[in-house]
Structure 1
Amino acid sequence: MFGYRVPAPDQAMLISGGRRGQGGAPFRVVTGHGKFVLPVLRKTRFLTLSMCEAEVAETCVTKQGIALTVRAVIAFKVGNDTESIVNAGQRFLSDQDQMAVLTGRIFAGHLRSIIGSMTVEEIVTERQKLATEVLETSKTEMAKIGLIVDSLQIQSIDDGETGYIESMSAPYKAAIQRQAQIAWAKANQESAEAQQEATRNQAEYQRKTEVVQAQYNAEVDRAQAQASQAGPLAQAHAQQEVLAAQTELAQRQAELRQQQLVAEVVKPAEAEAERIRVLATAEANRMKIQAEAAASHDRVALERMLIEQLPQIVKEAASGLAGANVNVLNGADGLGEIAAGLVGQGLTILDSVRRNLGNAEGAQPQPPRAAGTGNEVERYDVK
């Protein structure tokens, strides 16, 4: 719209003519909004409120008399309040570039003043302290011209050809070099140790590999040896089994032969011995009876006694043969023959007693016949 003016966000609009501004200023200040301005009667100018930069490169003398060239950068701007805008507008509205020139000169003076009260060591090691002191001392002066400083950065400090700063840094450089050498030596040592460890690991791996290979070769050789011996071992085992079977067969044959010998020799001998014992017992009983009969001269009583004792005699003979091992070939007939022989033996003994009694009446009694004469029990042995 004609006559309506609006300043940019980073500008302040200064309207001159008509009424005076705040504090008797020759213009009114408008920021952040537009305003109608009468043409011809009013005049409008704009003052920047954006950030500006000023560089300083000043040679300063320290407290020790050493000249230092200090380079710094100042970031500043016009204050946002109306008073600052009025102050800056009255000074820089016609030539706003002068703000950077004047700011640089102001800070150069303050740098010389503050550096003159400090040593090189303080300036080098405490740059932030230097910047803070410069800002504090220049704040009031900058406010008078409507400017505020956002930051001050010391870019470089140079002592020219004096070499003071370099000499000052020599111990630190030596210490740094020494630490670097120590670190280098330590790194070399660690590298050598790592290389040695790698060599030992490689040697250990090689040793384990050779051991495993040797074990594998030994197992292969053992398997081959076992395979080559498998045939002879099987044959030897077979022969051993044959010998064991032959040995067992021989033992069984020996046991069988022993049983045959017992049946053929021992048992018959035991039966013969038992037969002789029975006959001897019978003969002894006979002689006892004869003696008792001779003493009593009672033939009837003697015969009765013989008859009563005959079953006992036969029983004794039968019990003697019961424990003997007598083998009978013809079964029941053979057993009958043995029983008849026992009875006949008893009758023979009875007849012998009668004859002896008859002889005793007319003559002296004869001695008894030896056992085994006359009628005897027949022996039946079967193989």
Structure 2
Amino acid sequence: MFGYRVPSPDEAMLISGGRRGLGGAPFRVVTGHGKFVLPFFRKVRFLTLAMCESEVAETCVTRQGIALTVRAVIAFKVGNDNESIVNAGQRFLSDQDQMSVLTGRIFAGHLRSIIGSMTVEEIVTERQKLATEVLDTSKAEMAKIGLIVDSLQIQSIDDGDAGYIDAMSAPHKAAIQRQAQIAQARASQEAAEAQQEAARNQAEYQRQTAVVQAQYQAEVDQAQARAAQAGPLAQAHAQQEVLLAQTELAQRAAELRQQQLVAEIVKPAEAEAERIRVLALAEAERMKIQAEAAASHDRVALDRMLIDQLPQIVKEAAGGLQGANVNVLNGADGLGEIAAGLVGQGLTILDSVRKNLGGSQGKDLEAKSGRVEIE
């Protein structure tokens, strides 16, 4: 838009002409927003608010009279308040690069002043103290020209060819070297001990590995030996089982042969012997019977004759009972007993006759005699 101007975020817009600025400043300060500016009647200029840098390399003499070259870097910028912007704008608006030159000169003067009151040892060992004192002493002066310092860094301190700093650091270097040597020796010793420990561990590991390998090899050998023996043992076991089976088969064959021999020879022989014995007994019995028959041929004839006469004898014995008073006590049984008694008497007579005739044996004729009461 024509006549409307806006400053960058790191810039301050200075508008001159027309009304004066705050506090009687010759221009108005605008930051962070735009402003309508009448052309031809107003003039606009921009002042940087960005961070600037200034380097300082100054030769300073210490309290001991030793010249030191001090190198430092100062980071600064224009203050954000209107007063700082006005002060800086009035001094550096036409040539803003002069801010770095003037800042370097200001800090160089303060460095020479502060270093002149310090010893080399203090400067070397207390750099932060040096930077702080330089900042404190330059703060008011920098504020007058509208600048503020963010940081001051002492980069290096050099005494040239004087060798004072080297001499000062020699004991520390010696101590450091000694400590370094001790540390190196300790490290070497620890390294040697570590190597020895590693060697021992390696040897122990190799020993354990050898033992394990030997055990494994022994187990493998045993397994191989068992495997090698397994075949012959199995074959021997199989042969033993075959022999046992053959032995059992032979025993069964022998038993079968024995049974066959008994069936074929012994049993027929026993049967033949039994047949012969029976035949012999039969023959002996036949001869005995023939002998007895021959011896008793005549006796049989006599017995037959007596048997033929037995009814007559019984009849004669019964005749003696005629006219006798016989009481039969038990009925029909009593009559049977009487008859049997008569027959028995007849047989007794017959036997007596036989004995008297020749003493031959006969068959006993038994008869039950009844209970007869004769009056």
**TM-score, structure 2 length as denominator?**
0.57
Q: Measured at CA, do residues 217 and 97 of structure 1 come closer, stay the same or move farther in structure 2, by a change above 3 Å?
A: closer
The alpha carbon displacement at 1:23 in A equals 2.0
- Once the two structures are superposed, the pairs formed by residues 344-355 of structure 1 within 5 Å of their partners are none
> Which amino acid counterpart does residue 102 of structure 1 have in structure 2?
L
The alpha carbon displacement at 1:46 in A equals 1.0
Q: Measured at CA, do residues 93 and 212 of structure 1 come closer, stay the same or move farther in structure 2, by a change above 3 Å?
A: closer
2-structure distance, mates of 1:222, 1:29: 103
2-structure distance, mates of 1:192, 1:120: 43
Q: Measured at CA, do residues 213 and 51 of structure 1 come closer, stay the same or move farther in structure 2, by a change above 3 Å?
A: closer
- Give aligned pairs, total: 233
Q: Measured at CA, do residues 155 and 210 of structure 1 come closer, stay the same or move farther in structure 2, by a change above 3 Å?
A: closer
- Once the two structures are superposed, the pairs formed by residues 327-338 of structure 1 within 5 Å of their partners are none
The alpha carbon displacement at 1:29 in A equals 1.1
2-structure distance, mates of 1:16, 1:216: 101
The alpha carbon displacement at 1:213 in A equals 6.0
Q: Measured at CA, do residues 221 and 50 of structure 1 come closer, stay the same or move farther in structure 2, by a change above 3 Å?
A: closer
- What secondary structure, in the 3-state scheme, does the structure 2 residue paired with 1:186 have? helix
Q: Measured at CA, do residues 124 and 218 of structure 1 come closer, stay the same or move farther in structure 2, by a change above 3 Å?
A: same
- What secondary structure, in the 3-state scheme, does the structure 1 residue paired with 2:19 have? coil
The alpha carbon displacement at 1:37 in A equals 1.6
2-structure distance, mates of 1:43, 1:49: 19
Corresponding position: 1:78 with 2:62: no
- Once the two structures are superposed, the pairs formed by residues 1-383 of structure 1 within 5 Å of their partners are 1-209=1-209, 211=211
Q: Measured at CA, do residues 35 and 189 of structure 1 come closer, stay the same or move farther in structure 2, by a change above 3 Å?
A: same
The alpha carbon displacement at 1:208 in A equals 4.1
The alpha carbon displacement at 1:13 in A equals 1.1
The alpha carbon displacement at 1:204 in A equals 3.1
User: Percent identity at matched positions?
Assistant: 84
- What secondary structure, in the 3-state scheme, does the structure 2 residue paired with 1:7 have? coil
> Which amino acid counterpart does residue 98 of structure 1 have in structure 2?
Q
The answer for the alignment partner of 2:311 in structure 1 is none
CA RMSD of aligned residues (A): 2.7
- What secondary structure, in the 3-state scheme, does the structure 2 residue paired with 1:65 have? coil
1-structure distance, mates of 2:208, 2:2: 99
The alpha carbon displacement at 1:117 in A equals 0.9
1-structure distance, mates of 2:100, 2:223: 99
2-structure distance, mates of 1:215, 1:30: 94
2-structure distance, mates of 1:217, 1:89: 96
1-structure distance, mates of 2:166, 2:80: 45
2-structure distance, mates of 1:201, 1:45: 80
The alpha carbon displacement at 1:203 in A equals 3.2
> Which amino acid counterpart does residue 182 of structure 2 have in structure 1?
I
The alpha carbon displacement at 1:200 in A equals 2.4
2-structure distance, mates of 1:18, 1:163: 64
> Which amino acid counterpart does residue 66 of structure 1 have in structure 2?
I
The alpha carbon displacement at 1:145 in A equals 0.4
Unaligned runs of 5+ in 2: 237-375
Unaligned runs of 5+ in 1: 235-383
Q: Measured at CA, do residues 116 and 210 of structure 1 come closer, stay the same or move farther in structure 2, by a change above 3 Å?
A: same
The alpha carbon displacement at 1:73 in A equals 0.6
- What secondary structure, in the 3-state scheme, does the structure 1 residue paired with 2:169 have? helix
1-structure distance, mates of 2:71, 2:204: 64
Q: Answer with 174-183 or 198-207: which moved more.
A: 198-207
> Which amino acid counterpart does residue 119 of structure 1 have in structure 2?
T
